Amino acid sequence: MKNIIKKNSKKIMKKLIFLISISGLILSIIGCGHTRIETDTYTITVRDTTYERFVNNAPGNRDNGQIVPSSRTLNNTRDMLQTDSIVERHYPDFIRMGFFEGVGLIGSSSENKLGAGLFGLYPDPKNLNDQYTGDEDALFSGGIYRFGLYEYRLRWFRDSKNWTLGVNGLEIIVPNAYTNYTFFSVATPYLRKRFYLYEDIPYVSVTLAGGLGWLPSRYINLSGSLDIGSLGGLNFRTYLGLVAGMNPESSPQIDGSNEPKKSISQVFPYLGIGVSVLDFHNLVKETETEWKDHEHSSWNIGVIQMSALGSTAEKSVFDSGDTLAKENFIKGMSIKIANASIAIPFLNNQFYAGTSLLNILLLGKNEWAVGVLPIRVGYWQTLIADELSLEPFIEYNYLPSNFFNLGGRVNLALSEMLNISLVFGFATGTTDLGFSEEITDELGLPGDFSRPYFGFSLNISDRIFFPEHLRYNKK
C-alpha cells in the first residue's frame, strides 16, 4: 500500500501532470470570457444656423419723409454635421474565478490518517515517503485540493440570484494516506446556491454545493459551507460534506500501484477547514458594475515573484564545484507564488497584512527554507504616482521551515500586470531535516542560517495598486 506521495511511481506522476495540463487548457478557454463588453453606438448630430444682415443703400440723397421699401437684406445659412461615436463598457462576466483552494479534512478516515494539517497544506516532511501509512492520532485525516476555479451566473427559477454553475480545472480529494483511495478528476462541474449573510466586503455567505467527478475518478461531492471573503483574493471556509464514488481499475492511482488491480468504492463524510488564494468573487450587482468602478482592498496582488539573490553564503545553490561558480555574486534565489498584500484600514491605510501560498528562499548551499502561507506585515509608500513604490516588511514563516525575513522592496511598475523590484533584507532561521533526498542532494542538507541578501525581482501577472485605487481612500 502506498501513501499520497508516490516518489517511485513515475506512471502516476506522468498521468497526473497530463491531467493538470488538460485542466489548465480547459480553464484558459473558459477564463478568456471573464470580461463582458457592451457597446453603444451613437450618431452625434450638430446643427448650426448662421444669420447675415446686409444694408444696400444706393449713393445719393434720400427723402426720409417718404415710406419706401427697406434696402436691408437677411441671409441665413444652415449647416449639419453628423459623426458616429462608439462607447465600450467592460464588466466582469463571472461570479467566481480562483487559482487554488486547499481544505483540511477531519473525519474522512478513522485510521491511516494523512495528517496534512490545517487547510491540508502542512504535512510533516518526514512523512512524505513510501513507508508512511498514516497516523491514527492526526487531527486532519485528509485534504481537498482544487486548481482553477470558475463560476458563472445560472439564470433559472425566474432569474433567482446567487445560483451558479462552475467548474474546477482539477480536483483532488484525499480521504487518507493511501493513494488507491484518492479521488481526482478533471473539469469537475459544480452547482452552487449562496445565501448571503453580509453583502459588504468581506462577504459572508452560506453555500450549498453539489459536484460531480467523471474522469478518471467517478464520484459525487455534496457539501455546505460558511464562506468569508474575498479580500485580496483570500477566502476562508468551513465545510460539512459527504463524498461517494469509485476509482475504476484503469484510474492512474490504481494502475500505477503495485497492489492487485481492482476498482475501489467508498463513502465518507467530512468536516473541512479551507483557504483559497487568488480567488475573486462578485455579487450579482457587481457584474453590472464596470471594471473601472470596482473596489480594491489591496496594495499588491500577483501570481509569481521571482528574485535572483546575492548573499554572503560561502557556496551558491548553482555551484557545480568549480572556482568560477564560487565567485559568482548570485548565490541563490527566491520564489513567491500567489501573493496578496491587503491594506489595513487605519492611520493612513498604508500598513498592510499579507501572505503567499508558497514562499521559497534560497540564500546558498545548505541555507534554504520553505514557507506555506507565511504572515507578512509591511508599509506601502508611493514614491512616484503610477510608477514607483517602496515596501518595507517583516515576514514570519512557521512551517515547514521556521524563519524570519526582515526586508524591503522598491517596485517599478512596467505595465498593469508586470513589474520589477529591487529587493534587500536579512533572513534568519532554520530548516529541519526530513525533506526528500532529491531536494537535499540538490540544495544541500538544510540547517541554521542568518544572512543578509540583495537582488532583483521579476514579478509576473502581478498588479500594484496606488492610493487612488483603494476603496478606503474613496469618498
DSSP per-residue codes, 236-257: EEEEEEEEEEEE-TTSHHHHTS
CA-nearest of 213, 126, 123, 227 to 172 is 213
Q: How far is the first Cα of the chain from the last one, in angstroms, to the nearest whole number?
A: 61
User: Which residue matches cell numbers 568549480?
Assistant: 322
CA-nearest of 297, 372, 378 to 336 is 372
Can you give the three-state secondary structure of 366-387, one letter per residue?
CEEEEEECCEEEEECEEEECCC
**Three cell numbers, residue 115:** 495528517
User: Which residue matches cell numbers 565567485?
Assistant: 327
> What is the model's pLDDT at position 40?
82
**10 Å Cβ neighbour count for 420?**
14
Name residues whose C-beta falls within 8 Å of residue 438's C-beta, 6 or more positions apart in sequence. none
User: Which residue matches cell numbers 466582469?
Assistant: 92
Domains, the chain: 10-36+92-288 (no CATH), 295-473 (2.40.160)
Distance between CA 50 and CA 155 in Å, rounded? Answer: 55
Amino acid in position 14: K
Q: How many CA atoms lie within 13 A of 77 on its CB side?
A: 4
**10 Å Cβ neighbour count for 57?**
8
348: left (phi over 0), alpha (psi -120 to 50) or beta: alpha
Q: In angstroms, what is the C-alpha Rg of the chain?
A: 31
Determine which helix (DSSP H) or strand (DSSP E) holds 323, and give its type and residue range. helix 323-326
**Three cell numbers, residue 425:** 533584507
Name residues whose C-beta falls within 8 Å of residue 218's C-beta, 6 or more positions apart in sequence. 185, 245, 246, 247, 248
Farthest-apart Cα atoms in the chain, separation: 129
Distance of CA 12 to the CA centre of its chain: 27
> What is the model's pLDDT at position 212?
95
> What is the model's pLDDT at position 60?
61
> What is the model's pLDDT at position 112?
85
**Alpha helix stretches (DSSP H) within 63-147:** none
Distance between CA 283 and CA 286 in Å, rounded? Answer: 5
Distance between CA 195 and CA 378 in Å, rounded? Answer: 35
> What is the model's pLDDT at position 243?
97
pTM of the model: 0.84
Per-residue DSSP letter, 470: B
Assess contact for 118 and 161: CB atoms under 8 A: no
Three-point CA angle 416, 417, 419, nearest 5°: 90
Assess contact for 443 and 433: CB atoms under 8 A: no
Determine which helix (DSSP H) or strand (DSSP E) holds 295, and give its type and residue range. none
> What is the model's pLDDT at position 363?
93
Per-residue DSSP letter, 333: E
Q: What are phi and psi of 173, to 5 degrees?
A: -115, 115
Distance between CA 67 and CA 192 in Å, rounded? Answer: 91
Distance between CA 387 and CA 246 in Å, rounded? Answer: 53
Q: What is the mean pLDDT of each run of 10 residues along the chain (475 residues)?
A: 41 51 51 74 84 69 60 78 83 92 93 89 78 82 94 88 92 90 92 95 95 93 95 95 91 65 88 96 91 91 94 82 60 94 92 96 91 96 94 95 96 94 96 71 80 95 93 84
